[in-house]
Amino acid sequence: MTKADLADKLYEKIGLPKKEASAMVETLFESMKSILAEGESIKITGFGTFLVRKKGSRRGRNPKTGTELEIEQRKVVTFKPSLKFKDVVEKV
C-alpha cells in the first residue's frame, strides 16, 4: 500500500476531496518523521508504538570480500504493535 492508496481510502471512507486526503496523509507522515527525528516515541492507542533506539557499534564483515570492519553506532526506528493490532492481524 502506498501513500496514494491511503489517500484513496480516506476519500472512500470519509468523503474528503482527493487533494485534501493526500495532503492529510502527507502531513501525518511529515509530522511523524520530525517527531522521530527528535528522538521522541509515537504511541497510537490500538495500533502500536514507534520508538527510536540506539544501536551500539559492533564488528561486522563485508560479505563480498570477507574483510572485517567496525559498524558505527546509529539510531534506528522500531515498531511494536499493540495487542489489539496483533489480534486483528492474526484473525485475518
Is a pLDDT exceeding 80 seen at residue 70? yes
List beta partners, residue 75: 54
CB 38 within 8 Å of CB 19: no
To the question of pTM greater than 0.75 for the whole model, the response is yes
pLDDT score for 15: 87
* pLDDT for res 53: 96
Strand ranges, E, within 8-88: 42-44, 48-55, 58-61, 68-71, 74-81
The residue to which cell 558505527 is assigned: 72
Domain locations in the chain? Answer: 1-38
Stretch 49-69: mean pLDDT = 94
Q: What is the predicted pLDDT for the residue at 6? A: 93
Instruction: State the pLDDT at residue 92.
Output: 77
pLDDT for 52 beyond 90: yes
- Per-residue pLDDT for 14 more than 80? yes
Whether the predicted pLDDT of 86 surpasses 90: yes
Burial 7-35 (b: 16+ CB within 10 A, else e): bbebbeeeeeeeeebbeebeeeeeeeeee
